[in-house]
Structures are given as structure tokens and as C-alpha cells.
Chain A
Amino acid sequence: MVNAAEYEDRPWLDPEAEPFIKVQSVSKQFGDFTAVDSVDLEIYKGELFCLLGGSGCGKSTLLRMLAGFETPSSGSILIDGVNMNDVPPYERPVNMMFQSYALFPHMSVEKNVGYGLRRDGVAVSEIEQRVQEMLAMVELSQFAKRKPHQLSGGQKQRVALARALVKQPKVLLLDEPLGALDKRLREQTQYELMNIQEQLGVTFVVVTHDQEEAMTLSTRIAVMDTGRFQQIGTPTEIYEFPNSRLVANFIGNANMFEGRVVENGQDHVIVESRHPECNFYVDHGMSIAEGSKVWVALRPEKVMISKQQTADGNTNTVKGMVHDIGYLGGTSTYRVKVGDEHLVEITSPNQLRPKDGNPPIDWDEEVYLSWEPSSSVVLVK
């Protein structure tokens, strides 16, 4: 009854799919410091998987263990069913693109790209052909004879990518692949990277600290903190349904309210908050014992701001005073003072041009904030 096509883009949902990379309770200690703390991870063929986290969260260490530059203190790593623990880096079916690109400065672009093939003893004519193909793919054919220091940052990045892909690895590991590029180039390269990944069908594992990069690139994201995974899921899952305050704050912005569950219904929960005084009616399925202390996360773009009162009572609505306005052209960000000190951030699209019948919201004006029952998320940790 399982429809294969149904899972084509989401192999992690397919109960019969075999993970391509299996990380089984892997830990890594450096002296007293635990960089990676007993993590489990399954990555499927063709995924573009992101390890996301701040510096020192263990993401790079995990990537280096996949590449073979570090050996796990305990646990095991399987790639395509083979235990990699005792396999040295030069025999693993993976290639890595380094954050520094690590291009060999004394070799030309084509020698750099062909290095891996030469080490494998591929015939000279084939090396030439495959290098040419790779350079054509990253649009660097005319730079083949150049040395790395004669290239710009973006060109270097593409050489590094070509060099890592030319051996047709089973898995490509990318350490902050866009970190060294400026913003405009980064956006453009991001899409190029996705196209190449789709074209070749290679499994990508990307390490990044940039949440936007992770959101656009990946099929799934693992948010890491202090050596553990906080949440693993698709970009949408992680953004819309974070499982902790840490994840909610790390990915995008979130207004956080502390409260107590006062009603645990069949299809909803009601959380009562003191600061500000309002009730959150949350309608998506979760069951939390009445009386327990929880947090409610509310994304800035999911709050509606209006000068007219739109709903009665104090459920899913609250009154406040405009404290700050940031006009960003397409959108505006309002910081609204609710209660004595609590500031709520709201992002709202500027759909209408301000005119007489539609006066803009101004500083120190009284406004009403409201949100849908499905907009907020209840977090227990």
C-alpha cells in the first residue's frame, strides 16, 4: 500500500527506507570537555541535511567525525551500511568542502580539482575529461590554468566545490560553505548549491551557524546546542513548531510569554499569562496537565496589529502602546509595550499606502494585538 512517490521528497517519513548515514550514540570528548554528547542521527540518501547551531555546539566536531578527522570517543558511524570507525579519511566514500576552502596554493585550478582522481589512479585522459566537466558545471572553465590566489572568493568557493564533487562521493560534507562570501553572492550561491545537489543527487551534510542559510538550503535541520540535538525536523516544522524556547529563539524571532495551563481540553489548551494579563487559546493537538508552568511562543509576523478593538475579552488579544517602529519598506516592525514593561514584537506587511482613510500607526498610540488560535506554540521547556 505504500506509495513510493509519496515519500520521494521525504524519505525520513518512509518506514521502510534505510538511512544512508547512521550516527549511533556518538560522543566525543576532548579532555574534560564533551563536544558531542551521545547523539543519534539518521540521514537518508539525497537529503540536504543541515547541522545548525552556535559556535562550540559540536556541529563541526560531528562533521569532522563523519569525514574521519576525529574518531568518536564512543558510539559508531555507519555510511551506506559500513561502520566507519576504523576507516581513515583517505578511504572514506565522503568528501569535504572546507570552510577555508583549503585549495592547494601551489597547484592550478585544474590540478586542484583533479587531485583526488590522481590519488585514485584514474587514467590521465579520464581525469582531464572529468575535471573539464566539473569546471564547466561550476562555470570556471576559462580559469583552469589559474592559481588559487588569482581567484576571487566566489570563484575559490566553486573550485572547492568542484574538487569535492569530482570523485562522486556518496556524501558531501560542507563546513560553512557560504560563510566567507558577501551577502549578495551568498544568496546566489545558495541556489546554485541546491541546483547542483538536485542535479547530482549526492547526499549533502552542511554545517552552518546561519539559520537563514539552513532554512533555505535544507530538507531537514538538526538544531544543536552543547553537544546535543535540540530538535530535528524540516525547516517548516522547526520554525512553526519549535519544541523548546531555545529552538524558538534560535530560529527566527519569537515573543515569549510565561504562563500556567488553566484548561486542558480535547482539542485545545488555555494558558493564562500574568505579564501581560491575557489568555492564550491554542488549538493544535497537545495535552498538558492543568496547572503546569509553560511558555507560549508567538512569532512576530503572526500577530495582527490594529487601532480598533477586534475582539472582546482578553483571549488571544491584548492592548498595548506603540513603543518603537522600524520601517523596512516591505514590512514594518512594531515594538509594542504591553502591561508595564513587556515588549511584544510584531512584523506587519505594508500593504496599503498610508492616506487619509487609512492613517498609519504612530508612536505612543494605543493599539490592539490579536492572533489566531493556531498561531501560538506552547513550550514546556
Chain B
Amino acid sequence: MNNGKRSIFLLSTLSFGLAFLYVPMIMLIIYSFNKSKIVAIWGGFSTKWYAVLFDSPEVWEAVALSFKIATVNACFATLLGTLAGLALVRFGRFKGRTLFSGMISAPLVMPEVITGLSLLLLFITLKEFIGWPDERGFTTITIAHITFSMAYVAVIIQSRLAGMVQDLEEAAQDLGAKPLRVLIDITLPLLAPGMVAGWLLAFTLSLDDLIIASFVTGPEAVTLPILIYSRIRLGLRPDINALATIIILVVAIGVLIAGYIMLRQQRQRELDLSMVAEEK
């Protein structure tokens, strides 16, 4: 009896939690098929807003720009973040290590408004003194994104390295590998999952960012978040719902694929373990 009560309680908690998370999104998806031009009033089923969306080149330009920035950002952030993480964990107590490790995590806690503002000031000053960047846009947004997302990558790499036994690197050295060789043969392959995670995180952070991008962008460069935000300020239009639905779909597919891969790896590991156990 007690058990039955508890399961009812658990079930209702679960459904409430899930509803809290997903009802807004479901609403959005439903309203993306709204015929009416007024967002909040249901006027019948229609896919016309998708047609409108596919006909608006500025939306696709924004999507392309956002993806371009996110990709370049993710690559550079992963490279720099990995180097920073390596330096912090592996090179022992060099001078200024504490300062450096404190500074690497500062962007994580710094309000985005401040990061955006200070980068804007930097770009303006730079332009005055060395004439670069002559125009704010793709380059400045990318640089701005790299500065904060590399901090996230560094933290991921740091924790992955700290969990990795140093024995492996020493064993490689012991077997005749010079330090650079150890990095290529052992450290980087073992860091790969962390680097992939860091890359994905940097990519997502960049794709998501509105505040820093609006500070350092110029009139020409409109990223997807900036576009959506400005559209909303002009008044909601259902084609934004359609765009949001497509984004949700893409993300959902991505999550499903990742989940499937992880599940398969998990199964394989369990299989391996049971194989070893049987042989004993």
C-alpha cells in the first residue's frame, strides 16, 4: 500500500517536472503551425509560416553566419583551451600558476555584459591605434567568443587530465618516447573525448550567445540570436515559431544520436566486462 502511494507520488512529480520543461516547447511547436498571423490566437492548421521562413534570405544568412562563427570559435577555443589545460595540470608549479589558473576561470563567472563591454572597448581602442579591426563583425564576434569559450574548454581538459593517471605518460617515456611523442601518442588520444566535449560546448555557447555578440557586432553582421531578438522587439511573427521548431528538431536529433552512441558504448563495456569475468 505504502509502495503504491509512493509510486503515485513519484509519478505525479515526474510528470509535473517533465511538463514544466516541455509544455512551453510543445506550445511553440503547435503554434508554429498556426494559420493566424496573431501569434497567440489559434486560426487553424497551416504550414505557411515555414514557407515564409524559407523565403526569407536574411534568416538563412544569419544561420550561416552563426554556424560559421560557432565552428571557427569551437576550433580555436579547443586548441587554446587544451594548451591552457595542459599547462595548468602537467607543468607542475611554474611561476604564476595560481594567478593563471584563477584567470582562466574568470570568464566563467564574469557577467556577459562586462565581458562584452570590455571587448568592445578593446576593439575600439585597437582600431584607433593600429587600425585593426577596421570593421566590427564576423572577426570581432569570433574573437570575443573564443575568449570566453576557451575558458570552458580549459576547465574540461583540466578535469580530464587530473583524472588521467600520469603513469601512462611516464610509461610511454620509459619505453623510449620523447615528450612530444608522448603528447601525440598518449596524451592527445586520451584527451580526445574531452576535446570533443569542449568543442561541442564551445560551439553551443557561441551559437547561443546574444549579449556579447550584440556588443561587438557591427551593422553588417547579424547572428541568429541577434536576428530573433530584433524580430521579437518588432513584434512577434509566427515564422519565428517555425524557425524555433526547426532548431528544436535539430537539437533533439543531435541529442538522440549522442544518446544512442553512448548507450552502445555502455553495452559494449558491459559485454567486455562479462567476457573477462567468464574467462576467469
Residues of chain A having any CB pair with chain B under 8 Å: 67-69, 88-91, 94-96, 98-100, 102, 104-106, 115-116, 119-120, 147, 149-152, 163-164, 167
B174 in contact with A100 (CB, 8 Å): no
B174 partner residues in chain A, CB cutoff 8 A: 67-68, 89-90, 94-96, 164
B275 (CB) vs chain A CBs: closest residue: A150
B176 in contact with A150 (CB, 8 Å): no
A120, B174: Cα distance in complex, Å? 12
A341, B269: Cα distance in complex, Å? 58
A91, B176: Cα distance in complex, Å? 6
A90 in contact with B177 (CB, 8 Å): yes
Given the interface contacts A98-B170, A104-B186, does A116 sit within 8 Å of B276 by beta carbon? Answer: no
Q: Is B272 located at the chain interface by the 8 A CB criterion?
A: yes
Partner of A151, one of B165, B185, B276: B276
Residues of chain B having any CB pair with chain A under 8 Å: 165, 167-168, 170-178, 181, 185-186, 189-190, 269, 272-273, 275-277, 279-280
B190 in contact with A102 (CB, 8 Å): no
B276 partner residues in chain A, CB cutoff 8 A: 150-152
**Interface core residue of A68, A89, A115 (most chain B CB under 10 Å):** A89
Partner of A106, one of B170, B189, B272: B189
A-B pairs with beta carbons under 8 Å apart, 17 shown: A67-B170, A68-B174, A88-B173, A91-B176, A94-B174, A98-B170, A99-B167, A102-B165, A102-B171, A104-B168, A104-B171, A115-B175, A119-B175, A119-B176, A149-B272, A152-B280, A164-B174
B182 (CB) vs chain A CBs: closest residue: A90
A149, B268: Cα distance in complex, Å? 11
B167 in contact with A102 (CB, 8 Å): yes
A104 in contact with B172 (CB, 8 Å): yes
A371, B170: Cα distance in complex, Å? 52
A100, B166: Cα distance in complex, Å? 10
A62, B280: Cα distance in complex, Å? 35
| B57–chain A nearest beta-carbon distance, Å | 46
A89, B171: Cα distance in complex, Å? 9
Partner of A69, one of B170, B177, B189: B170
| B174–chain A nearest beta-carbon distance, Å | 5
Partner of A149, one of B170, B171, B175, B269: B269
Partner of B177, one of A106, A119, A151, A163: A119
Partner of B171, one of A96, A151, A167: A96
A163, B185: Cα distance in complex, Å? 16
A91, B185: Cα distance in complex, Å? 18
A67, B185: Cα distance in complex, Å? 20
A116 partner residues in chain B, CB cutoff 8 A: 175-176
A37, B92: Cα distance in complex, Å? 24
A120 partner residues in chain B, CB cutoff 8 A: 176
A68, B175: Cα distance in complex, Å? 12
A88 partner residues in chain B, CB cutoff 8 A: 173
Partner of A150, one of B168, B171, B190, B272: B272
A64 (CB) vs chain B CBs: closest residue: B170
| A324–chain B nearest beta-carbon distance, Å | 38
A167 partner residues in chain B, CB cutoff 8 A: 175-176
A94, B174: Cα distance in complex, Å? 8
| B184–chain A nearest beta-carbon distance, Å | 11
Known: A89-B174, A167-B175. 18 other contacts (CB 8 A): A68-B174, A90-B177, A90-B178, A91-B176, A98-B171, A102-B168, A104-B168, A104-B185, A106-B190, A115-B172, A115-B185, A116-B176, A119-B175, A120-B176, A149-B273, A151-B276, A152-B277, A152-B279
B277 partner residues in chain A, CB cutoff 8 A: 152
A100, B175: Cα distance in complex, Å? 16
A163 in contact with B170 (CB, 8 Å): no
A100, B165: Cα distance in complex, Å? 9
A96, B176: Cα distance in complex, Å? 11
A96, B10: Cα distance in complex, Å? 55
A163, B176: Cα distance in complex, Å? 12
B167 partner residues in chain A, CB cutoff 8 A: 98-100, 102
B170 partner residues in chain A, CB cutoff 8 A: 67, 69, 89, 96, 98, 102
Partner of A105, one of B177, B190, B279: B190
B175 in contact with A95 (CB, 8 Å): yes
A89 in contact with B189 (CB, 8 Å): no
| A73–chain B nearest beta-carbon distance, Å | 16
- List 6 tightest A-B contacts by C-beta distance, closest first: A116-B175, A102-B167, A102-B171, A119-B176, A89-B173, A150-B272
| B143–chain A nearest beta-carbon distance, Å | 34
A163 in contact with B279 (CB, 8 Å): no
**Interface core residue of B165, B168, B172, B175 (most chain A CB under 10 Å):** B175
| B200–chain A nearest beta-carbon distance, Å | 20
| B160–chain A nearest beta-carbon distance, Å | 13
B280 (CB) vs chain A CBs: closest residue: A152
**Interface core residue of A68, A95, A102, A151 (most chain B CB under 10 Å):** A102
| B185–chain A nearest beta-carbon distance, Å | 8
Partner of A163, one of B168, B175, B181: B175
A104 partner residues in chain B, CB cutoff 8 A: 168, 171-172, 185-186
B164 (CB) vs chain A CBs: closest residue: A105
B165 (CB) vs chain A CBs: closest residue: A100
A98 partner residues in chain B, CB cutoff 8 A: 167, 170-171
A92 (CB) vs chain B CBs: closest residue: B174
| A205–chain B nearest beta-carbon distance, Å | 14
| A101–chain B nearest beta-carbon distance, Å | 8
A90 in contact with B275 (CB, 8 Å): no
A151, B176: Cα distance in complex, Å? 25
A156 (CB) vs chain B CBs: closest residue: B276
